[in-house]
Amino acid sequence: MSIAEKISRHSIMVGVVVLLSIFLFELTLTVRCTSITWDEDDHIYAGYMSLTRGDFGLNPEHPPLVKQLAAIPLLSLQLKMPALENREFKHEAFLGGKDFIFRNDAETILFRARMAAALLAFLLAILVFLAGREMFGVEAAFIALTLLVFDPNVLAHGAVVGTDMGLTCFMFAAIFAFYRYVRFPSTKRLIVVGLATGLTLASKHTGILLIPMLVMLSAAELFRKPENEQKREPVGKRAGRLAIAFVAISAIALTTLWAFYGFRYAARGAGLQLNPPFAQSVHYLSRPHEVRLLETVAHYHLLPESYLDGLADVRIMSDFYTSYLFGKIYPHGVWYYFPAAFAIKSTLPFLFLLCLAVWMIASRRLTGTREILFLTIPPAFHLFIAMSAGMNIGLRHILPMYPFLYVLGAGPPGR
């Protein structure tokens, strides 16, 4: 490496430190200057109750990871706790959450909880840089990080006690870890993939989309033509290795998910039960095959009760919401809502670089088949599911697409 190249790389690393410092300042400013959102009190209260009392029945519609992370800084405080009134779980959590926040020092609780949750956005920024550097080089990594640091969509959710940034961070981490594993397989890298997958599942119920993503990426890896013909191995051998890896990833991920529920099936301890009970909630589903599936999983205690109740709630809510787009109210979702929201709310530099990347891929000017597949399959699948799910309630539902597209968009100019 020449002296000029060393100086250039040193300057980029200094720039990375500056960007991360700016990002941390932006997140802190967001924490200080924005009022509480409609469900943060619910999440913080539920996280605190799960940590201190092992009660996962107050907010089962979301897994516990982000809520518990936000509640950790509150453990040292002397807090007044609202009495449980055995109300329907959403009423119990929302009303109890308001009492929990505003009968104590609301500003202190919110600041501590939000700063803890903001660590996930900061971790995502680091992961985006590392992924960009490994896939396309340090210059591309710097561009990808710049796109993230100044993206209003990330800043809007990065310092909020919600599940979307946790899902975005760990889903990207799992895909990146799997990319590193298929490049140079090892036990350590396989364990990292399993842990990241488990953290994704424990962040948000839509984290289950990661499983088919990994299957599709495994299939792409199976039939992808290696750049170096000397590294080609029989398809059967590759299939067997990937199948064993998938089983190991699944086992580690499920163990990780159970750990966040204290390795206990019952959602609530101390003689308390879900309200309404899971056996009742599951029958609100409109699709009989989904009812049978969840009842079977519950019968054999394959997943925690609270997690299953949340899965049912996600499906029920997807049929409940109306949508509003371009001045018109729809009784259901419209397929073009998320593409429209993505185009409107994304920054112009990001959209320009993304279009440039698409053009270079189509014209075969952007090389690296594996990198392109790992950066396009997950967001394309996620967008497809979002468009067909019928839940048009916010761009945050496709926020997990963004880190993949940051890296992809940074590829052409970075190289």
Beta strand 328-330 with 323-325 is antiparallel
Distance CA 44, CA 117 (A): 10
Distance CA 45, CA 82 (A): 10
Q: What is the pLDDT of residue 5?
A: 61
Read off the DSSP letter of residue 286: S
Name residue, tokens 């998938």.
246
| Average pLDDT, 10 consecutive residues per value, the chain (415 residues) | 62 92 96 93 97 95 97 97 92 95 96 97 98 95 96 94 96 98 96 98 96 96 70 79 96 98 94 92 88 95 96 81 79 82 92 95 89 96 83 71 96 81
Q: What is the pLDDT of residue 333?
A: 73
**Cross-strand partners of 323:** 330
Name residue, tokens 């996620």.
382
Q: Which amino acid is at 68?
A: Q
Q: What is the pLDDT of residue 198?
A: 98
pTM (2 decimals)? 0.94
HSE toward the beta carbon, residue 159, CA cutoff 13 A: 22
Q: How many CB atoms lie within 10 A of CB 3?
A: 7
Rg of the Cα atoms in the chain: 22
DSSP assignments along 296-349, one per residue = HHHHTT-S-HHHHHHHHHHHHHHTT--EEETTEEESS--TTHHHHHHHHHS-HH
* Backbone φ, ψ for residue 210 (5° rounding): -65, -30
Name residue, tokens 């090389």.
367
Closest to 41 in 3D by CA, of 103, 97, 93: 97
H-only helix segments in 137-234: 138-149, 152-158, 164-183, 187-201, 210-223
The CA-atom distances, in angstroms, between 25 and each of 79, 155, 194, 214 are 29, 11, 32, 35
Name residue, tokens 């670089």.
353
**End-to-end alpha carbon distance in the chain:** 17
